[in-house]
Amino acid sequence: MNSFSPGFQGRGRRPADKLPPGQYPTESFPVLSAGPTPKVPTETWRFTVTTETGETHAWTWDEMLELPQEETVRDIHCVTRWSKFGTRWRGVPLDAFFEDVETAADYVVVGSHGGYTTNLPLEDLLDGQAWLVHTYDDHPLSPEHGGPARLLVPHLYFWKSAKWVRDLRLTHEDEPGFWETVGYHNYGDPWREQRNWGD
């Protein structure tokens, strides 16, 4: 992981009550990445959920597409201070992947192609709060934006919505991921400006 490309351009206007503190609205969709963009063919794509006991549940691309699909429109907020309103996604609610998963874990480590990880409380992925998305604005999700599939957790800063997602590992203990180990906040609530460990 050795490159960082902000790709910022343009600023728009939206109602202030939709904008978390310290953010500015943009009409563009900046591309931020720490390292090269993985190219993952859907023919070999797999998504797994592994419990704290080692039990693994896995889906191929076609099996994932057979699960209940949802359209969702959400505002997203990046820790680098841009916010984009009304983004349109299609994908599988995370609840669908957990229907047959038995767990007593409280936390999740999200793993991505390319080696990226991030951590979340399990409760932040359930009850209609998060999706595995494969379509953005009626088009297949591009690799630059995390395709073929990425996590979407819109109530947290966008680094928690891991690109190129491949697995969820359930844990009893919270295990900080890539950005969290270099100083980003462990939780990342944009409305509380939880950008860094001290916030």
Q: Which domains does the chain have, with CATH numbers?
A: 20-27+46-192 (3.90.420.10)
pLDDT for res 29: 87
State phi, psi for 175 to the nearest 5 degrees: -120, 105
pLDDT exceeds cutoff 90 at 3: no
Token pair recorded at residue 41: 């063919």
pLDDT exceeds cutoff 50 at 2: no
Identify whether the C-beta of residue 87 lies closer than 8 Å to the C-beta of residue 136: yes
pLDDT for res 30: 80
CB-based burial label for 42 (10 Å; 0-12, 13-18, 19+) = middle
Token pair recorded at residue 112: 């991505």
Q: Which residue has the higher pLDDT, 164 or 34?
A: 164
Which amino acid does the sequence have at 95?
D
Identify whether the C-beta of residue 129 lies closer than 8 Å to the C-beta of residue 160: no
Q: Which residue has the higher pLDDT, 4 or 34?
A: 34
User: pLDDT class for 79, splitting at 50, 70, 90?
Assistant: very high
Token pair recorded at residue 118: 């991030």
Q: Which residue has the higher pLDDT, 136 or 37?
A: 136
pLDDT for res 17: 82
pTM of this structure: 0.89
Which distant-in-sequence residues (6+ apart) come within 8 Å of 81 by Cβ?
22, 23, 24
Average pLDDT over residues 36-49: 94
